[in-house]
Amino acid sequence: MKKFKKHIVSILVASLAVTVLPGCTDYLDKAPESEISADEAFKNFHNFQGFVEEMYFCVPNFTTGYWNNSFNWGEDEIINVGKDYFMGYKVDQGDFWGWQSEHDGWQCGFMDINAFTTDYAPDQVANRPTLWQGAWYAIRKANIGLANLEYLTDATQEQKNIIRGQLLFFRGFFHFQLMQYFGGLPYIEEVLSGGKLTLPRLSYHECADKAAADLREAADLLPVNWDETSTGAPTRGNNDLRINKIMALGYLGKNLLWAGSPLMNWESTGSQTYNSDYCRRAAEAFGELLSLVESGRTQYALVPFEDYKENFLTHGKSGLMPGSTEAIFRNPVIEWNRSNWGQTRCYGTQFLDPEGGIIFLPTANYVNYYGMANGLPLDDPDSHFDKSHPWKDRDPRFYHDIRFDGCRLELGGDKGADDVRYAPLYTDGKMRDQIKGSRTGYLNYKFVRDDFNQWDKGGAANWGANNHLLVPYMRLADIYLMYAEAAAEATSVPTGKSSNCVLSAIDAINTIRARAGVDPVNAKYTGSLDAFMSEVRRERAVELAFEAHRFNDLRRWLLLNKYPYNIKTSQEFQRVGDLTGIDKDSSKGVDTKNPQENEVIGFHEEVILTRNFTDKHWWLPLKVNDSKMYVEFGQNPGW
């Protein structure tokens, strides 16, 4: 997208505050709400698309929006001691107010900051879009566009469909993004004039139905691939981020599955079970999408496992956005090299990057969701998991995502790395430092490479490395997993499927496992819905690990406050072998050729944090000023 021209838009944001914001448009020199008449501003596709494109820049970048970004708030991750200003830490303390800028002195969150803008450069971290302001701003803008469609006269029917489809998508998408955190809200379908407001908070189901109507119509209007349309021809090869039919179907299904989930069904009906009708509708949306993918009629496909990291990271490719063929929906901002200086330095500890400082660590309880290559969970008696050889024959995604004791962390042989080269992550090992190292006995390498250290210089602020980290909002693997959940719950059997897709729920899970080289779901987990759903939840935990899904999954499943989902643990053990002088040579007691064969003793977990949540923690609190603005826009329970 081209360099945007600045203008000032006076706009009534639907959070009920009149704000003057710096806006941006690709084509228009002036805001359509200022001196330009509506029939001029919206008369052709070129002008109208310029108006639409600001909404793309209302999508917050949760991965690298700030220098260091906390976006995993479930039981999946813990932060090194002393870094108490991140939302992940605040959630651990039960402080859900922390999402708000008023309670975030560092202004580092993606949900709310003081300096909201849609007109920002890739090197900016202080001024950027965030969810609360951006969603309401974009919803307002979508409604303005929909109200002015009659002025789009100099356009083909295809162009009119694409404009309307994008507007409807963004209205549904941004309402959904808010609903999943805050519950039912007013669903804004008109341009608010600033008069007295009495818009009620709807139930979650009522909101979801309205979002579903918008997303369904958007899917019917939008092309699968802009490159294959005459409208997209001028930008052919650069249309990957533009809203299309697959994105609309993906969020249609996700919106409906969330509505069918226990938390949202409880809020709307009082029942704490899945709602089979919403699950059926979700399965139909996902089934329509997967039928297009499976028949080769889309540009999307699962990335081969050997290229799995390209879903999240590109290295030495001149800032190419990660995602390859699998990413469906991403933040649109292409940042250049910021990852080198920020988020990629948050995973290897200060022993590998002395200036890293912030360390986001996988918890031991979460790592142990990674089962065996035979497809069974660790606690299954037939899994062959051996506590004396805990790294052996594990799910291949374990070896991709996690660095464990004995893994080689420095590749070139620099003598200065001897004491940490082979990841001394055993109990009391060199890297088991609560401030500078790992609190849990594990490191998260899903988003970084093994040469991201001070010696190999693949990352660690090496300007020439050209690293680009970006976690997508939605990728194809997630669609398969959501389809499996929806189809099984809609039909009450693991073999269930939608009417428009040949895949069953079991087939969908096994598609993802096959890509990673993991055996299919074992028959002992396909005999009942409860047994199968335990594997669905575990598969989501593994495949989508650390991608900002777990917190919302635990909430919608009504598991956030239940054991063992409310604890965070460390892995404690000792190496078998001579540990003498380990601080000088970390290879002691290690099979340096194959760390999977390493033997340990005393393998067990210890609880390092217990989260004490009550019923109020199912939803985030609204801003106090907003919740007091008028009676019908009330605060969430307990806050």
Alpha helices in 295-346 (DSSP H): 338-341
pLDDT at 3 (0 to 100)? 30
Q: Residue range 54-74: average pLDDT?
A: 95
Do 305 and 517 contact (CB within 8 A), yes or no? yes
pTM: 0.94
pLDDT tens digits along 154-193: 999 999 999 999 999 999 999 999 999 999 999 999 999 8
d(C-alpha 127, C-alpha 121), whole Å: 9
Would you place residue 582 in the very low, low, confident or very high pLDDT band (cuts 50, 70, 90)?
low
> What percentage of the chain has pLDDT greater than the value 90?
85
> What percentage of the chain has pLDDT greater than the value 70?
92
Does residue 15 register a pLDDT over 50? no
Q: Which residues pair with 237 in a beta bridge?
A: none
pLDDT at 580 (0 to 100)? 65
The string over 500-517, giving b where at least 16 C-beta atoms fall within 10 Å of a residue's C-beta and e elsewhere, is ebebbbbbbbbbbbebbe
Tell me the three state secondary structure of residue 568.
strand
Token pair in block for residue 184:
């039912």
pLDDT at 358 (0 to 100)? 95
Neighbours of 607 (CB within 10 A): 12
Place of tokens 């969810």: 131
The one-letter amino acid at 87? M
pLDDT at 318 (0 to 100)? 81
pLDDT tens digits along 510-569: 999 999 999 999 999 999 999 999 999 999 999 999 999 999 999 999 999 999 999 999
Do 233 and 161 contact (CB within 8 A), yes or no? no
The one-letter amino acid at 184? G
DSSP assignment letter at 479: H
Does residue 5 register a pLDDT over 60? no
Phi and psi based region of residue 379 (left: phi greater than 0; alpha: psi -120 to 50; beta: remaining): alpha
- The burial class, CB within 10 Å (0-12 / 13-18 / 19+), for 187 is buried
**Residue 586's closest CA among 418, 384, 362?**
418
State the average pLDDT for the chain. 92
pLDDT at 119 (0 to 100)? 86
The one-letter amino acid at 250? G
Would you place residue 583 in the very low, low, confident or very high pLDDT band (cuts 50, 70, 90)?
low
